[in-house]
Structure formats: C-alpha cells, structure tokens
Amino acid sequence: MSDRERGWSEVPVIRTWQLATGAAVVGLALSAGAVTAAGPWDSGQRKAERQWAASQEPAGGGHHGRSAPGALVPAPAPSAPGVLSVLGVPAAPPAGGSPLGATLGPLLNVAALGTLHTASVVETATGKQLYGSGAGEAMTPASTVKIATAAAVLSALGPEHRIATTVMAAPGAGAEDAGIVLVGGGDPTLTAREPGKPGKSGKPGKPGTGASLPALADDTARALKARGITEVALRYDASLYSGPEYHPIGAGNENIARISALMADEGRLDDSDAGVAKRTGDPAGDAARKFAGMLRDRGIRTTGEPAPGKPAATAKPLARTLSAPLSALVERMLTNSDNDIAEALARQTALAAGEPASFEGAERAVAAQLGKLGLETRGTRFADGSGLNRDDKVSAALLTGILVRAADPARPQLRPVLTGLPVAGFTGTLSERYEDGSPAGGLVRAKTGTLHGVNTLAGTVVDADGRLLAFAFMASGTPGKEAAQSALDRLASAVTGAP
C-alpha cells in the first residue's frame, strides 16, 4: 500500500477541532479603545482558511452577492481545554427585557429586514438566551442551513474522517482480462488539476492538498505495470448516490453541479475554486475520461471510451486517494458557502446513518444527528444540505443551539463549525462586508444566507464583557439584498458592543 493510499504523504492531518473553544475568536477582547486578536491567524486569516478556503477567489454558494467510503487516520488528540461551563436551558427572557434587547429591538424592526424577522442571541457558556424575538419560529434559512449540515456530518463521522476515491480491479488479473473501475466515494473536492501544469486560464495548477486524480493515476499506473499490464478497460461507478441528480433549483444552475458520487473539481468548466461557474452535465463521465487521459500519459492505454459499470464482487482496491479530513471540508464549505460540498456532506451523513444517499435520506439523517445532540427539530425541514431549497425550515433558536454545542468543550468534534465561519472583513462570504473601518471587522464570525427576499446571518462574537455569544438573525420578504445585509451586519455589530 502506497503512502497516498494511507493518506499520509499527500494529505497532512490538520486537527482544527483541537483548537480551544471559539477558535479564532478566542482571545478577542473588546476594551475601551483597543482590540487584541489572538489565535491561529496569519495576516488576518485563519491558517486553515488560507489553505482550504481560497479566500482570494469569489465566494462559493448561491446568491451571496459576490462576482464572479474513507479511512480513519490516527486517533484524535485530547479535547480542547474546558473553558465553558455545562450548558443550561433556561427560559427565554422577554424580547426587550435586557439592555441587549433595548439595543437590538430597534435594529431588528426595520423595513430593510422585510415582513418577518426573528432573532436569537445566546451566551455559549451557560446556554442562556440573552435576546429572542420569534426565536422558535421556523423560517427559510438559505445558506445558514449549512451550519446544521456541518454539525450533523461531524457528529456522525468525526472530524478526521476522509472520503476515498478508489480504483478497483480483480485480484491477480493478468493482461488477458485486465479491467479497472474508478469508484466515486462522494468527494466533490477531488481535483483533476496537475500541480504546476497550466489550466484553462493559463494559470499553473496549485499543489494538491486533498484527493488528487493525477496522484491516483500515478499509483494506478504503477500497480498495473507491476502486474505487467499496459492496457486496460476503464469503467466508472457513481452509484453510491440515489434519487434525483439535479437540485430542485434545476439543471444548469451555476450555483451547484449535477450531484454525483464521482466528480472532479465540482464539475467546474473553468479554473475557479469557488463561486458560481458553468458546470459539466456529466461529472462522473468527465472525471473518468480525464482519468483515462492521465493513465495514457503514464503509459497505460485504455480500450475504448470509459463506460459506467460496477466492480466485480471479487475486486480489490488497486489504488485510492483520500480527501482532506472532514474538519477541512466543513471549514471550506462554511467559509466559501460551497453548495457542492454541502450536498456531499449531507449524503455522507445519510450513509453513516444507513440511509439512502439522497435528498430524502440526508434530510432524515441530519435531523436525527441534531436530535442526538439534544436539539429540538420538530417543525424543521432539511430539504437539502446547501440551503438553496426554499423548503428548508429552521429557527434562529436552532441555529444558536448548534453553535452553542459547537463551543462545548465536551464536543470537540464539532469545533470546525466555529472555525469555518467567515470572518467579518477578512474571509469568505464576509470578506467584502464590514469594510470601511467597521469596528466589528474581525470580531464577527458568521455564516451568511441569501436568496431572493431571504437574508440571514448566524455566528459568534465576543462581547465587551469577554463572553462568547452565539447569534442568529433571520429575515424574509426583504425588499433588497444590500439593505438587508447592512441591517444584519449592524445587528451583529451591536452584539459585540461595538458602535
């Protein structure tokens, strides 16, 4: 078994969930005139974000307003230090029954936030709700539903889990009956880009940090030549997923590819890593054809065109490539609001629960995992994993409840839910918000959500008293995206105590 099969040399282990509670916001404190930031930062960005989220690229996911089966690796390290107390579930105070309520109430009840708006602000150390307005009312969350998707998959599989893409072959097959099958495990981050080789834009490919189709071709060609084989029939298997292959928003939408267990570079037809892009209509077939070309470049001819097919019952793995750990996939999904990763992680949750890897199976599995975390899911709907579906329904209280559990030192496996949140004015879908010297820049970490007439924001802040707070603001019937986003940003800024 090669190093790439073990997943050691090609994919370094990054245990982001080991970070202390609050991750990059830990150590942030707002005093009379100074803000000190500490944590795993590098020039204003979390190091993991710089590596995984490609923050220089346009934000991923839909409608955010910007241009343009795996193996476990070494056992998790000890949990983060216990800096938070045991969670409680106290009764919610009246909406205006606190100084915070007096501040947030007028900011919430503005025309820019439409006909229905709800809010929840919770102290993570105690679980105490500091402010609530319709907090239990289920609304369309848009992309903030990715917080639920992230918590569910991390709870089901753990942050170190990796997704495998495998080449299967009959054991001991000789040249006379050589045939291999490229089997997709559901990793949308599998890349066909050759490091250093110019892509369609003319830019050189980036060094691989996850599953690599060229590396898989290297190992496959090496293994075949060791058997004396230089010509094979190539088939491909994308049967791991079931149900509709297109999201309900329709085929050809540039926010998301055709959903497939086998794809390369999210089916993008350009060199982008995030954001909207034209996609292939045949992601599995395209990935297989690219793989066939790579094999030819490495001295292995393929007979005919790759065709769909499943490996024989006696087939064994010939080579495989592993995704980055789930912790990194979750961070990339949240930071860039990546819809393709979100739908893949929802299906990985379904597979872990023994459900079909479909929209329906994922919906049941995500709700079940959140229930295991002690969260109330009655009245909710997880129609998809990405939030592109308007049939999704979650409450502000559920979103803050997830964030509170992600901050719980007893649940270190959920920490990437916090570390993946975009940083105001710095990363992902918040990189172009909180600009112009906003005092909340760098203090707010939040997942954005935007559909036509729907705007949401949910995340964490450290307030002027040094408390880590979770918040969620949801609005529907909003008359305009920009005005709604500005109103949400003012709400989050107010929670920090910043002017």
Cα(320)–Cα(71) distance, integer angstroms: 11
User: Catalytic pick from 337, 358, 386, 438?
Assistant: 337
E-state strands within 112-271: 116-123, 129-133, 164-169, 179-183, 231-237
Residue 469 CA to residue 129 CA, distance in Å, equals: 10
Q: Hey, what amino acid is at 75?
A: A
Pick the catalytic residue from 55, 120, 133, 146: 146
User: Nearest CA to 184 among 250, 258, 74?
Assistant: 258
Residues 6+ positions from 226 with CB-CB distance below 8 Å: none
Burial of 422 (0-12, 13-18, 19+ CB in 10 A): buried
Indicate which residue of 143, 212, 431, 476 is catalytic: 143
Angle at 153 between CA 150 and CA 155, to 5 degrees: 100
Closest CA to 392 of 138, 105, 59: 138
- Note whether 449 and 387 are within 8 A (CB): yes
Q: At a CB cut-off of 8 Å and minimum separation 6, what does 49 contact?
A: 55, 331, 335, 420, 423, 427, 428
For residues 167 and 317, the answer to whether their CB atoms sit within 8 Å is: yes
Q: Is 41 in contact with 293 (CB distance < 8 Å)?
A: no
146 is catalytic: yes
Tokens of 184: 């997709």
Half-sphere exposure of 95 (CA within 13 A, CB side): 15
- Distance, CA of 110 to CA of 483 (rounded, Å): 10
Helix axes 326-336, 146-157, angle to 10 degrees: 180
Q: SS3 for 219?
A: helix
Residue type, 406: A
- Catalytic residue check, 337: yes
Q: Torsions phi, psi of 164, nearest 5? A: -100, 140
Beta bridge partners of 103: none
Return the H-helix or E-strand segment holding 35: strand 35-36
DSSP 419-458: HTSPBTTTSGGGTTSS-TT-TTTTT-EEEEEEETTEEEEE
> Is 201 known to be catalytic?
no
Closest CA to 166 of 143, 139, 144, 190: 190
Contact 232, 180 (CB under 8 A): yes
Instruction: Read off the amino acid at residue 295.
Output: L
Active site (catalytic) residues: 143, 146, 337
